[in-house]
Amino acid sequence: MVTRETAATLTQDLVRVAVAAVSDEKRIRRPAGRALFDHLACLESGRRASPGLDDAAAACALDRDDLHWPSVTHPGAIVWPVVRECGGDARAAAAGYEVTVRLGLALGPEHRRYWHTSATAGTVGAAVAAALALGLDEERVADAAGHAASVAGGSILAILERSGTRVFHRSHAAATGIAAARAAVAGLRATREGLESERGLFAAMSGDPEALLAERERLAIEETTFRIYAASGFAHAAIEAARELAPVESAERIEVEVPPAAAALAAIVDPQTDEEAWWSTQYAVAVTLLGLDIEDRSLLHDPRVRALLGRVEMRAGETSTVTVDGRSVSCAEAHVPTNEELGAKWRMLNPGLEPPLELLA
């Protein structure tokens, strides 16, 4: 456990730990470059699909933005627009990731029953990223974080209903983070004990404040991964397990075991629309087992897919496991995409647009 400084508030300590964690510019250069590359790929395609959205919303409009699995947060769509607008660098971005992930982890699974963690934790992460990008010292960065923590929110219903509000959550988090940082620039002092107070964020939204400062082997931006499959992130590990078994033309029984969150949020037995197919782990597994391209949305009503889909039985379990007529493959989590795979994702999302490959160097 990282020890707290005497008389410092939890917000101040969070900022101190996050800033110290990202002090090695050489260490953060590569993961930050990859994260920015993926963000720009999602942003460019999102702008074309939804030209009226701001950058934070556009970057997640196609649901391909990055993902930190342990905290179940999507830092990139929130942090990078903030850093780019405020003229920041990789250090500011990495600190935004660090705060978002640390707070998301500390808020924990009970928090996610009612709140969208990308919105709650992401708002504070955005404020820290913006404040550092604007050149504030740690005390003023803590003011920005304090302002943001006091207004952080975002109902989980946006996820349960799969509504567009989940996209707006990123937009709101980014805009609020910038506003919080600019308030700190103006000298507006923030609530000091907004996290740990008996009437503070943790008391209201649940979680473990002590976990916020825990020592971590890897930086948040190093742990964050990228979604290369055209499906909900909850389905990606199951897709990789299915790839090990493919091709499968027919089967008597297909059993799919996924973690409880995936079973609750990404389990549509009979998808009829593109959106339902996106959120159907069963559909993703069926298409993958057949060796077909999951990017091809014309497959939704393909007789081969429908026949295999009807054989899929899904349940909650400890990991992602696909079993076809007794043959099983398990996958704890999807692999970390290579630079080549990130380049392929860019070209698929943005045909004809030259990728900024220098970010992957």
The answer on 216 and 244 residing in a single domain is: no
Domain range enclosing 244: 233-331
Q: Which distant-in-sequence residues (6+ apart) come within 8 Å of 168 by Cβ?
A: 57, 158
Low-confidence ranges of the chain (pLDDT < 70): 1-7
Total tally of structural domains belonging to the chain? 2
Does a structural domain hold residue 2?
no
Q: Looking at residue 63, what is its pLDDT?
A: 96
Q: Which amino acid is at 120?
A: T
Q: For the domain that residue 270 is a member of, what is the CATH number?
A: 3.30.1330.120
Consecutive H or E run containing 316: strand 312-316
Place of tokens 């400890």: 318
Q: For the domain that residue 115 is a member of, what is the CATH number?
A: 1.10.4100.10
Does a structural domain hold residue 217?
yes
Does a structural domain hold residue 202?
yes
The answer on 177 and 115 residing in a single domain is: yes
End position of a domain, from candidates 170, 190, 223: 223
Q: Which distant-in-sequence residues (6+ apart) come within 8 Å of 322 by Cβ?
A: 238, 241, 242, 245, 254, 255, 256, 257, 285, 289, 328, 329
The answer on 246 and 97 residing in a single domain is: no
Backbone φ and ψ for 233, nearest 5 degrees, come out as -55, -25
Does a structural domain hold residue 344?
no
CA distances from 254 to 237, 243, 283 (A): 16, 14, 12
133 within 8 A of 87, measured Cβ to Cβ: yes
Q: Looking at residue 7, what is its pLDDT?
A: 64
Does a structural domain hold residue 184?
yes
The answer on 139 and 244 residing in a single domain is: no
Q: Which amino acid is at 77?
A: A
The answer on 162 and 212 residing in a single domain is: yes
Chain segment 296-323, per-residue pLDDT in tens: 999 999 999 999 999 999 999 999 999 9
The answer on 266 and 204 residing in a single domain is: no
The answer on 297 and 181 residing in a single domain is: no
CA within 13 Å, CB half, 99:
40
The answer on 299 and 168 residing in a single domain is: no
The answer on 239 and 316 residing in a single domain is: yes
C-alpha torsion 276→280→282→288, nearest 10: 90
The sheet that has 254-258: what strands, in order across it? 312-316, 254-258, 320-324, 327-331
137 within 8 A of 155, measured Cβ to Cβ: no
The answer on 21 and 120 residing in a single domain is: yes
To the nearest 5 percent, what fractions of the chain are helix, strand and coil? Answer: 55, 5, 35
Does a structural domain hold residue 118?
yes
Does a structural domain hold residue 345?
no
The answer on 261 and 164 residing in a single domain is: no
Chain segment 159-213, per-residue pLDDT in tens: 999 999 999 999 999 999 999 999 999 999 999 999 999 999 999 999 999 999 9
Does a structural domain hold residue 266?
yes
Percent of all residues in the chain with a pLDDT value above 70, rounded to a whole number: 98
The answer on 160 and 270 residing in a single domain is: no
Cα separation, 162 vs 37, whole angstroms: 26
